[in-house]
Structure 1
Amino acid sequence: MRFYPLLLLLVITALFSTNEAIAKVDDKISPPADFFPIYDYQNDWLVYNSHYKNYVPYSQGVNESARSVSLSIDLLKNRRYFLLIKTEAEGYLFLNGALQQRLPSEEWLKLNIDSLFRSFKSEELLLTVYGSSGISGKKVLLCNQKQKNAAGIVHHSASTLINIKPIPFSQFGNFAVMAMLIILILNAWIFNLNPLSFVRLINPLEYFNNNPREQLSKINKPYSNSIIFFVLIDAMLMAFLLLFFSTNDLNLFSVITILTEQTNTFQYFLDFLLLSGIFFVLIYGKFVLMSVVGNMLNLDKLVDTLFLKIIQSAYFFYAALFLIVFMLGFNHTSWFIPLKPYILFPFLFFYIGRFISLYVVTKPSASFINLYLFSYLCVIEIIPLIIGIKFAL
């Protein structure tokens, strides 16, 4: 009986010693907190055997002096996982025989297996660690990265409350909604002011109507109320697109020099009104140019018709771009970035197409070619296009 207390003391001491050893080992091999270990490659080390001219399993009693040890990693099987490498002494990492980087001591190196698979384009990878002798102090783990919001998901799933938060909109997004409402209100205003005229203005078939007796210029003049508001809508559509470009670091016409530096909704709206006014003046400035050149070439009867067709086509084109930007801007925030180098091509194709279509729909049917009309369209369409492209860049 007197041996029982001594035996009990030995058991308790052994348990504490075992727990302490396990804790030290776990602390030694445990990966960072944001990774969960899947597999430990400690028993899979390989060394190169010059006799067999191949890699053979590492033997503890035979290969302890080997400074270069390797692992065969199955990339295809372990996709979506990470390799974590750690060495007690400084070493070097080789992948498929090529030196990749230095391995600092006591630091975990994280390698994404998906990235390795894409880079090496092979199902297996030979990973080699060169440094201290043997495999002591060398650790390679296969791990899964924990989801950062996993704790939050568990916490919220236990609650019976439904936590619904509104989608945050950008300041430009808030302004885009305001611009959309203003443009819709102006469209509704023109429709109430003159329904028949508005329906014909937004009808694409009316643009290609070349019957002299049915032209819009017979019932609408460029300075009538309906046309003035229609030109204002065109100016607002152009202003919105130019403001969108400048917001996305595309400074056309050096417009950023006249815009405010703040980026809140109110400042966007003020810049929008400023640009709309500038485009409104430019459109009617073009009408004045058309009238002057038309009188010089005895084409004054075509000025009103051509002007209405010009603002019609601008409405179709810029309204389509406005809707595309408006829809994609809320659903795909980065859609515009790869298109920046090609952004002027749609405008170039549009203005060249409008030049050709204006000549076709206004040319007298009896003549094969009208040099006066061609020259007139070059002055009012092609020359402004060339100047615009030069200053836009």
Structure 2
Amino acid sequence: MYKYLLSLLFSIGLVISPSTSFAINGGPDDAYHIIKSFDKDWLIYNENADRYEPFIDKLQSRTEAHTVFIDLQQYKPFDLLVKSEGTKGYLFVNGQMYSTLKANEWQVIALKNFTGEEIQVSFLGSGNIQKKHLFIGSKANEGIVSEGIARDNLISMKHRISLPFGNSFVIIITLLFLYATVLSGTNPKAFGEYFSVNDLFVTKIRDTKFLISKPLNRINQAFVVLLSITTGLLFVILAGKGLYLFNNPFGLNTDSGSGKFLFAFVLVSLGSYVLYILKYIFLMVMSQLFGIKKSLNIHYFKNIQFMLITFLVLVMVLYIWYVQIPPGETFDSTLIYYILLGCYMLRSVLSYFSILKSSGIQSLYLIAYLCVVEILPIVLGLRLAF
């Protein structure tokens, strides 16, 4: 089983290599490669605080003026694509009226016409933010050629769109693959047990098995580390497409550099490892209070085994989904919420049958125990995350 898993991880590494340079067409007649979308970057001016604050659609739906700041050093070679849908609008640059936007017509503005390091672009029009479109793009049939290369040469050098998250993903998935390879080589039997789908759904198991009887030994902790790395990768994949869990504690955005994504990955992985250890301590305390301590090791092992397999599958599914989403759009947070909720509830059901078959505890008593150690943490965790 573990050989197939390693092959699958290696396949992911091959798949992601070309996927970091894809582009989506848009703008007038879909003739532009969209490099940057500002759909999620709108700001509004707070007169009381005398500052710009992030626009929140549900709270500020009547606001008619929306603003973004554009880094000219990064985007100067490209064009600004603007459209007001349904009604006419007005475009302001650095606080001054720049142009009137006709309804449903694209306006293309060359960013090289502006000076300075940054410009402030304000869009006045409909209060419905969904009807305002602001992109940075490059003409699909034009290349940005370096000064030292003639256009009639056989080879021309085109601007490569920077995708820092893609670079981070390559580094992290490589780390995950190498670590999994080391684990499979040094502990092949344990690796096979943890990643056996057949064993996962076997509920009647002995707590005297080596992996189950010693949950805090070196081998088991090595797999907890693997789960922590996978958890960190999940967090970063979601953040790479604008879905920031736990109120975005690292200040990530779609323009964050690779270093910032890697920093978030490291901290989330470390934090996850600590939480998985605290989960064992929590289970130990609660199992003593409920008088079912003999089920502790089985419960913890099943938790780690289930989450390892589930999170690795989610990593693959979410990355495939990631590369299909156009720039400027994010993961569907509601769908992600229910996917995670479903995974955790399935884990609780698996824990129920594993403990019931292995300990012979009364069903109602076991349900009360699982409500405390499984359901309550799941509800609180997802509520905080989303």
> 1:350 — aligned with what?
343
Whole-Å separation in 2 of the counterparts to 1:227 and 1:365: 21
- 1:296-327 per-position Cα deviation (integer Å, ceiling 9, x unaligned): 22221211111111011111221111112333
How many percent of aligned residue pairs carry the same amino acid?
22
Q: How high is the TM-score relative to the length of structure 1?
A: 0.55
- 1:266-307 per-position Cα deviation (integer Å, ceiling 9, x unaligned): 222122111111111011101000011112222212111111
Distance 1:252 1:195, change over 3 A: same
The residue correspondences of 1:72-87 to structure 2 (distance < 5 A) are none
Whole-Å separation in 2 of the counterparts to 1:151 and 1:178: 31
Contact 1:260–1:271 (CA<8 Å) still a contact in 2? Answer: no
> 1:21 — aligned with what?
none
Q: How high is the TM-score relative to the length of structure 2?
A: 0.56
Please identify, of 258-267 and 372-381, the stretch whose mean Cα deviation from structure 2 is larger.
258-267
Select the residue among 165, 187, 196 that pairs with 1:194: 187
> 1:317 — aligned with what?
310
> 1:383 — aligned with what?
376
Structure of higher CA gyration radius: 1
The residue correspondences of 1:66-105 to structure 2 (distance < 5 A) are none
Whole-Å separation in 1 of the counterparts to 2:280 and 2:266: 21
Give the CA deviation at 1:349.
Answer: 1.0
Contact 1:220–1:227 (CA<8 Å) still a contact in 2? Answer: no
> 1:306 — aligned with what?
299
Select the residue among 278, 282, 292 that pairs with 1:285: 278
> 1:175 — aligned with what?
168
Contact 2:167–2:258 (CA<8 Å) still a contact in 1? Answer: yes
The residue correspondences of 1:27-66 to structure 2 (distance < 5 A) are none
Q: How many equivalent residue pairs?
A: 255
Select the residue among 207, 226, 234 that pairs with 1:233: 226
- 1:220-246 per-position Cα deviation (integer Å, ceiling 9, x unaligned): 622122221211121122222223333
Distance 1:236 1:289, change over 3 A: same
> 2:242 — aligned with what?
249
Select the residue among 267, 271, 285 that pairs with 1:274: 267
Contact 1:217–1:305 (CA<8 Å) still a contact in 2? Answer: no
The residue correspondences of 1:65-214 to structure 2 (distance < 5 A) are 161-163=154-156, 168-213=161-206
Whole-Å separation in 1 of the counterparts to 2:361 and 2:206: 21
Contact 2:232–2:272 (CA<8 Å) still a contact in 1? Answer: yes
> 2:6 — aligned with what?
none
Whole-Å separation in 2 of the counterparts to 1:166 and 1:190: 41
- Structure 2 alignment gaps of length 5 or more: 1-27, 30-86, 89-101, 106-137, 144-150
Compare relative contact order (CA 8 Å, sep 6+) and give the higher one, 1 or 2: 2
- Structure 1 alignment gaps of length 5 or more: 1-33, 36-99, 102-108, 113-146, 153-157
- 1:5-24 per-position Cα deviation (integer Å, ceiling 9, x unaligned): xxxxxxxxxxxxxxxxxxxx
Letter in 1 for 2:385: A
Letter in 2 for 1:171: P
